Chain A
């Protein structure tokens, strides 16, 4: 065996299921993340290494997911969904309460957050469901799909975990939207939803209501709920066009930004890298999303199309909700800045999604022939 073929074979094993453009963009984002986490953690090498480890683990998961063919994934849809739902019910019944929310389930050897599973479980199930109903979709199908979506969403909302509920809901919603739910129904559902908002108001927790109210006017509670928004907008605004420079943001380095290495890391980024940095970040996100939508468009089956589209659009939702929250146009919900915020779980689940995207992108030839 010549060395040449050996390299080819190694490359084949490791890279043939990976998508080049997506991979390059993800690596750039990961590098960016390490730089910002280092700055946002008060220049903690430990924290930066932790984030590097998060990416390393997530990369393995991505590779594994990319090597599972989509058909096999489809077979896992129902078991994953059922397991996830079961765990969510268990959480509601026996979950651990941390920071006032019942989100974690102690399995004895590990503590898990089952809502994370549903971020992939819901679009998987819905895509599989619509795949089987290929011949034509009736209202009944959308109602069933809606129920399969609302059940986990409702359970997560009750925990309460508004951020994750929004992400689960949008991941399922994008499947239904892409499957072709008629505009008439979409618009009437949207109008009904808006009309129902005042009814939902009393159901919100006090802190959730506060978040909405402080969004409207952060200065009603400058030291409480409004503090996050005030400090993050100060940080971003004071960054100006070119930013104050890496490790030089006063708001960031002097700890005025709460949650500066996790949910509010965009404020650190915006302060130190300015408008130019933020536009670069949005561009990177658009490259990821554009590549994801391209994969979806070229996907061979309904299942893979819907799943790829939903995964991509959910990634957009992450970015939009987080950036909107940190810049003060959306209420504060616990959604990290995708691929930049410190934290293993979110990076892991997103990389798993990108792995599925790559699997769809690289397995299509086998199916279509």
Chain B
């Protein structure tokens, strides 16, 4: 028994040792396999994993450039940056936004306006991005928030540069504004391959100079390599390529002149363009009413938006570029010039004006607004006194296509090419134009009627132009037929080197106008402001300089034979008031067009506005606030 026990024990011990050896062998193989795996990861694939680890660790953060500063021609800042702190919210990390906003009370002042604006931003945004809730936090607010920060996950304070327009409504349409980049902007950025340069940029120029000179103002985005942890928090900076600030712009605008022009409008809506006829530099570009561009910088709140968008005064409409108005009598000098150039009229050729124009076998009478007529009228007098009958007759004898061809050479009916966007072409009627209009269902007949011609003869009827087009045209006349594309930017200044790049435009090709003919027209325009019978004689009395000008009045209301009486007509149907001018007459340095909506006769409102602008520009004379305005419904021949 003992023998078998020992044998058993030995057999068992052998089995055990055998098993241990097998197990040990297996363990060696298993560790060998793991070592092979390690060799594969750390030697064979080392570079691959190294790249992945670096990608984990390093985040490239854009360094957003400072936007260029915009100044007027004298260096007055019109758009600048200021740095401030913003409370931003990442909506996806906040469970109940309203409750969180309520909880902020007493820490950071959140106005209902801020909430409304935030809601609006929220609707347009992807929910993983952070959105501004309140800008320009005070130091106290920052301190209070820092203490309570733990209570507000998803809320953070960030420093940033903000755009400020110190003149607010003044020149708002010309300067424009920036706004948050929206989907349409993104598409444009992508299509221009600028995605990289706009990384980290929240804002883009939307309108005006800010919009059209975006590529100059934005600058070049830099980048910073930052080491981050798994939570995306920056640990340290590894490398940095600095951003290049956007270029500064010096505008052609004179902000003082601009302000005087805007003030001169009083409560009237309208537009004004003042141009240096020798260069095309725009000295003032007014659209009244304006708006405060600062409201748009970080998303406008819905209440203010509704106020602006639904206002019957249409403050968002840039009237000087986008408002097409029948030119009224301001078209007369151009039609007279056309008649001289084509030989249809000589200066001395005169008519007898009975106070109306009639055609044989037509019962309708086109009336002059001077009862009883102007008597014997030659070309000079037709312009000085603005005789309608003279132009009714001229138009009835002139082919509309010829007229359109001549006017188009002065820029009517096409964009002036000013360096900000959204310019309208206006309407320069011709036979072809009317056919097109008919095809679109906007005219009764495709056929051009004689009556159409006669209406356009005094700037009524189909034709409609922007104030800028008229300013451009009168500047061309003032500059003896040499035209320049109007522009708002005088020079671009490199933000780093300070190098100034002047933007000079060459004169645009123009019809060679006969100098003698131009002289005849200009003499008549001077007569408008300087001769006793001139329609702007009173407005330019004792000016202290010579000027050329032409009034205009656009009828919005069909009188049906009655005498126009401004007091009887509701305000928004009252006539538009026009004035075009240049000065000094001998060597013009300013040419302008003024349109005041529903303001009555051109002589009554538009001409005094022009006077205020030219007084300041030529004489440095500030408008006298006590001086009574010319009554808007001056009864006598105002046009």
Instruction: Tell me whether A178 and B16 are in contact (CB under 8 A).
Output: yes
Contact with B along A220-244 (1 / 0, CB 8 A): 0000000000010111111111000
Instruction: Tell me whether A237 and B41 are in contact (CB under 8 A).
Output: yes
Instruction: Tell me whether A254 and B56 are in contact (CB under 8 A).
Output: yes
> Contacts A135-B8, A233-B41: A254 and B235 contacting too (C-beta < 8 A)?
yes
- B2: Cβ under 8 A from any A Cβ: no
- A327: Cβ under 8 A from any B Cβ: yes
Instruction: Tell me whether A238 and B23 are in contact (CB under 8 A).
Output: no
Contact with B along A249-264 (1 / 0, CB 8 A): 0110011100000000
Q: Which chain A positions have C-beta within 8 A of B27?
A: 286, 289, 313, 316
Q: Which chain B positions have C-beta within 8 A of A231?
A: 56
Number of A-B contacts (CB under 8 A): 135
- B510: Cβ under 8 A from any A Cβ: no
Q: Which of B15, B16, B30, B57: most chain A Cβ within 10 A?
A: B16
Query: Which residues of B9-37 have CB atoms within 8 Å of chain A's CB atoms?
Result: 9, 12-13, 15-17, 19-20, 23-24, 27-28, 30-31, 33-35, 37
18 more A-B residue pairs beyond the given contacts A289-B27, A309-B16, A320-B30, with a C-beta to C-beta distance below 8 A: A234-B49, A236-B42, A236-B49, A237-B45, A237-B46, A238-B49, A240-B46, A251-B53, A251-B56, A255-B229, A256-B57, A290-B24, A302-B16, A305-B13, A306-B16, A320-B31, A327-B38, A327-B41
- B52: Cβ under 8 A from any A Cβ: yes
CB distance from B58 to the nearest CB of A (A): 9
CB distance from B234 to the nearest CB of A (A): 11
> Contacts A254-B227, A270-B42: A234 and B52 contacting too (C-beta < 8 A)?
yes
Q: Which chain A positions have C-beta within 8 A of B45?
A: 237
Q: Which chain B positions have C-beta within 8 A of A24?
A: none
The 6 tightest CB contacts between A and B, nearest first, are A237-B49, A238-B53, A180-B15, A254-B229, A237-B41, A250-B57
- A282: Cβ under 8 A from any B Cβ: yes
Instruction: Tell me whether B38 and A254 are in contact (CB under 8 A).
Output: no
Instruction: Tell me whether A233 and B49 are in contact (CB under 8 A).
Output: yes
Instruction: Tell me the bound Cα distance from A210 to B306 in angstroms.
Output: 54
Q: Which of B27, B45, B230, B235: most chain A Cβ within 10 A?
A: B27
Instruction: Tell me the bound Cα distance from A316 to B31 in angstroms.
Output: 9
Instruction: Tell me the bound Cα distance from A289 to B25 in angstroms.
Output: 12
> Contacts A233-B49, A237-B45, A237-B49: A279 and B38 contacting too (C-beta < 8 A)?
yes
Chain A to chain B contacts (Cβ below 8 Å), 28 pairs: A135-B5, A177-B23, A178-B16, A180-B12, A231-B56, A233-B41, A234-B52, A236-B38, A236-B49, A237-B45, A238-B53, A239-B42, A250-B57, A250-B227, A270-B41, A275-B43, A279-B38, A282-B35, A285-B31, A286-B27, A296-B16, A297-B16, A297-B20, A305-B16, A309-B19, A324-B37, A327-B41, A329-B34
Contact with B along A29-43 (1 / 0, CB 8 A): 000000000000000
> Contacts A178-B23, A237-B42, A309-B23: A327 and B230 contacting too (C-beta < 8 A)?
no
- A138: Cβ under 8 A from any B Cβ: no
- B625: Cβ under 8 A from any A Cβ: no
- B39: Cβ under 8 A from any A Cβ: yes
> Contacts A254-B227, A285-B31, A302-B12: A270 and B53 contacting too (C-beta < 8 A)?
no
Instruction: Tell me whether B39 and A134 are in contact (CB under 8 A).
Output: no
Instruction: Tell me the bound Cα distance from A254 to B55 in angstroms.
Output: 12
- B231: Cβ under 8 A from any A Cβ: yes
Instruction: Tell me the bound Cα distance from A251 to B12 in angstroms.
Output: 51
Query: Which residues of A166-180 have CB atoms within 8 Å of chain B's CB atoms?
Result: 174, 177-180
Q: Which chain B positions have C-beta within 8 A of A235?
A: 49, 53
CB distance from B308 to the nearest CB of A (A): 45
Instruction: Tell me the bound Cα distance from A342 to B15 in angstroms.
Output: 38
CB distance from A189 to the nearest CB of B (A): 15
Instruction: Tell me whether A254 and B23 are in contact (CB under 8 A).
Output: no
Query: Which residues of B472-511 have CB atoms within 8 Å of chain A's CB atoms?
Result: none
Q: Which chain A positions have C-beta within 8 A of B28?
A: 286
Instruction: Tell me the bound Cα distance from A320 to B29 in angstroms.
Output: 11
Instruction: Tell me the bound Cα distance from A135 to B8 in angstroms.
Output: 7
Instruction: Tell me the bound Cα distance from A12 to B43 in angstroms.
Output: 48
Looking at chain A, what size class is its interface with the partner chain? 35 or more
Instruction: Tell me whether A316 and B50 are in contact (CB under 8 A).
Output: no
Secondary structure call for the B interface = helix
Instruction: Tell me whether B31 and A293 are in contact (CB under 8 A).
Output: no
Instruction: Tell me whether A250 and B56 are in contact (CB under 8 A).
Output: yes
- Nearest residue, chain B, Cβ from A289: B27
Partner of B56, one of A134, A233, A234, A239: A234
Instruction: Tell me whether B39 and A275 are in contact (CB under 8 A).
Output: yes
- A323: Cβ under 8 A from any B Cβ: yes
Q: Which chain B positions have C-beta within 8 A of A270?
A: 38, 41-42
- B48: Cβ under 8 A from any A Cβ: yes
- B61: Cβ under 8 A from any A Cβ: no
Instruction: Tell me whether B230 and A275 are in contact (CB under 8 A).
Output: no
CB distance from A362 to the nearest CB of B (A): 20
> Contacts A180-B12, A236-B49: A254 and B42 contacting too (C-beta < 8 A)?
no
CB distance from B54 to the nearest CB of A (A): 8
Instruction: Tell me the bound Cα distance from A22 to B326 in angstroms.
Output: 105
Instruction: Tell me the bound Cα distance from A207 to B33 in angstroms.
Output: 27
Instruction: Tell me whether B48 and A237 are in contact (CB under 8 A).
Output: yes
Partner of B38, one of A178, A278, A302: A278
- A274: Cβ under 8 A from any B Cβ: yes
> Contacts A275-B43, A309-B16, A327-B41: A134 and B8 contacting too (C-beta < 8 A)?
yes
Instruction: Tell me the bound Cα distance from A89 to B49 in angstroms.
Output: 46
Q: Which chain A positions have C-beta within 8 A of B15?
A: 180
Instruction: Tell me the bound Cα distance from A38 to B15 in angstroms.
Output: 45
- A108: Cβ under 8 A from any B Cβ: no
Instruction: Tell me whether A254 and B230 are in contact (CB under 8 A).
Output: yes
Instruction: Tell me whether A254 and B41 are in contact (CB under 8 A).
Output: no
Instruction: Tell me the bound Cα distance from A240 to B49 in angstroms.
Output: 9
Instruction: Tell me the bound Cα distance from A270 to B56 in angstroms.
Output: 17
Instruction: Tell me the bound Cα distance from A306 to B19 in angstroms.
Output: 11
- B228: Cβ under 8 A from any A Cβ: yes
Q: Which chain A positions have C-beta within 8 A of B5?
A: 135
- A3: Cβ under 8 A from any B Cβ: no
Q: Which chain A positions have C-beta within 8 A of B37?
A: 324, 327-329
Query: Which residues of B218-241 have CB atoms within 8 Å of chain A's CB atoms?
Result: 227-231, 235
Partner of A286, one of B31, B42, B56: B31
- A136: Cβ under 8 A from any B Cβ: yes
Instruction: Tell me the bound Cα distance from A170 to B9 in angstroms.
Output: 25
Partner of A274, one of B12, B42, B48, B52: B42
